[in-house]
Amino acid sequence: MVKGQIIQSLSGYFDVLADERIYRTRARGNFRNKKEVPYVGDWVEFKADNEREGYLLKILERKNSLVRPPVANVDRAIVVTACVEPKLSTNLLDRQLASLRNNNIAPMLYFSKADLLSQDEREKLVKLVDYYQQYFPCFIFSKEDPKEIKDDFLGQVSSEVIVVMGQTGAGKSTFLNLIAPGLNLKTAEVSKALSRGKHTTRRVTLRQIQNNLIADTPGFSSFEILDVSKEELPLLYPDFVALQDNCKFRGCLHLKEPQCAVKAAYEDGTILASRYENYVQFQSDIAKRKPKYN
């Protein structure tokens, strides 16, 4: 029995890295019986007579996991958000950020395709990024500045599992090609009729880039509501947490409570309008969510 880490998942096969060798494995039937699904990033115990025929025996304890994309034991996330094509969605961005915080994953925000914006659109983007920059590392990039990405981010972290995530067509594969040109990952144009990108990434793979394992993952066009309670949601907003001690009521949900510091900050423009309005929608989604019974 050998211990290793899953670095690729494709069509029921799992490639496991152990002792600088890669073993192709399959999950035994007991995983289905226990309703366990191996994720890329999982540390596992497996048995293999050779590098092409192995079987997973056990998934070791995870420190966290994401469903979209399906990756486990993540240290950091690069959230790629397109400025245009597809249209920038702060709603999707805020869902992703809350989900990452809920899993104790440190995010970095990259706003792609800024070179396609008009001057007025660029100025609006800068104001938006300036707000998020207060709480998360942010970069605006285009095809001309991969060196900044390498020097300011990848040069500062090491031996981490990093997931690149974002909407379909946001430019995740393009981003990885910029920082690691040797990958030559396939990219595709965005369908203007649907404002959705074609899925150029069909599998989840951890790639060795500058001493880190970075996951190139399939894109998506939606992101489900978080599996959190109405009381937990405001704690996933660092900008709200910074103000919550000024609310009149302890445990304020920042909705209808009087003398709420977060609502006051929203009304005077201190909190980004879309940020608060997305939060209200998420709270509404949680309230409508059907209860789960064990």
Q: Which pLDDT belongs to residue 109?
A: 93
Of residues 224 and 204, which shows the higher confidence score?
Answer: 204
Of residues 147 and 228, which shows the higher confidence score?
Answer: 228
Those residues with Cβ within 8 angstroms of residue 52's Cβ, 6 or more apart along the chain or in another chain: 24
Q: What is the mean pLDDT of the chain?
A: 85
Burial 208-244 (b: 16+ CB within 10 A, else e): ebeebbbbbbbbbeebebbebeeeebbebbebbeebb
pLDDT band for position 14 (cuts 50, 70, 90): very high
Q: What is the pLDDT of residues 21-36, one digit of tens each?
A: 999 999 988 888 888 8
Nearest 10 degrees: Cα torsion 58, 209, 149, 77: 0
Asked, for residue 110, whether it belongs to a domain, the answer is yes
**Residue 151 and residue 79 share a domain:** yes
Q: Which pLDDT belongs to residue 29?
A: 80
**Residue 205 and residue 82 share a domain:** yes
Number of domains in the chain: 3
Q: In the chain, where does DSSP find H-type helix?
A: 29-33, 90-102, 119-133, 146-152, 172-179, 238-241, 261-267, 273-288
Q: Is the pLDDT of residue 206 over 80?
A: yes
* Mean pLDDT of the region 227-234: 94
**Residue 161 and residue 36 share a domain:** no
Q: Which pLDDT belongs to residue 185?
A: 66
**Residue 110 and residue 32 share a domain:** no
Asked, for residue 294, whether it belongs to a domain, the answer is no
**Residue 36 and residue 108 share a domain:** no
CA proximity to 112, closest of 139, 74, 73: 139
Q: Is 115 annotated as a binding residue?
A: yes
Q: Is the pLDDT of residue 223 over 80?
A: no
Q: List the domain range (segments joined by +) for residue 51.
A: 2-61
Q: Is 170 annotated as a binding residue?
A: yes
Range from 106-120, 129-143, 247-261 that averages highest in pLDDT: 247-261
**Residue 13 and residue 51 share a domain:** yes
**Least confident among 24-33, 99-108, 118-127:** 24-33
Asked, for residue 45, whether it belongs to a domain, the answer is yes
Q: Is 169 annotated as a binding residue?
A: yes
CATH number at residue 254: 1.10.40.50
**Residue 193 and residue 99 share a domain:** yes
Q: Which helix (H) or strand (E) holds 7?
A: strand 2-10
What pairs with residue 272 in β-bridges? none
Which residue, 17, 35, 61, sits at the end of a domain? 61
**Least confident among 94-98, 161-165, 233-237, 250-254:** 161-165
User: Cβ–Cβ contacts within 10 Å for residue 200, how many?
Assistant: 18
Asked, for residue 192, whether it belongs to a domain, the answer is yes
How many Å apart are CA 140 and CA 202, to the nearest integer? 26
Q: Is 247 annotated as a binding residue?
A: yes
CA proximity to 40, closest of 250, 278, 247, 216: 216
**Residue 206 and residue 269 share a domain:** no
**Residue 187 and residue 282 share a domain:** no
pTM value surpassing 0.75: yes
Of residues 35 and 282, which shows the higher confidence score?
Answer: 282
As a whole-number percent, the residues of the chain with pLDDT over 90 amount to 53
Q: Is the pLDDT of residue 1 over 90?
A: no
Task: Supply φ then ψ for residue 189, to 5 degrees.
Answer: -70, 155
Q: Which pLDDT belongs to residue 26?
A: 93
Q: What is each CA distance from 150 to 13, 178, 186, 284, in whole angstroms?
A: 32, 9, 21, 40
CA proximity to 185, closest of 156, 162, 154, 164: 164
Q: Is 171 annotated as a binding residue?
A: yes
Q: Is the pLDDT of residue 194 over 50?
A: no
Q: Which pLDDT belongs to residue 219?
A: 58
Asked, for residue 49, whether it belongs to a domain, the answer is yes
Q: Is 173 annotated as a binding residue?
A: yes
Q: Is the pLDDT of residue 250 over 90?
A: yes
Range from 188-197, 222-231, 275-284 that averages highest in pLDDT: 275-284
CB 84 within 8 A of CB 117: yes
Q: Is the pLDDT of residue 122 over 70?
A: yes
Q: What is the pLDDT of residues 139-181, one digit of tens each?
A: 887 555 555 666 666 666 678 899 888 887 777 777 887 777 6
pLDDT band for position 208 (cuts 50, 70, 90): confident
**Residue 162 and residue 83 share a domain:** yes
Q: Is 252 annotated as a binding residue?
A: yes
Those residues with Cβ within 8 angstroms of residue 40's Cβ, 6 or more apart along the chain or in another chain: 6, 7, 8, 9, 70, 71, 72, 204, 205, 206, 215
**Residue 104 and residue 72 share a domain:** yes
**Residue 241 and residue 188 share a domain:** no
Task: Supply φ then ψ for residue 70, to 5 degrees.
Answer: -80, 90
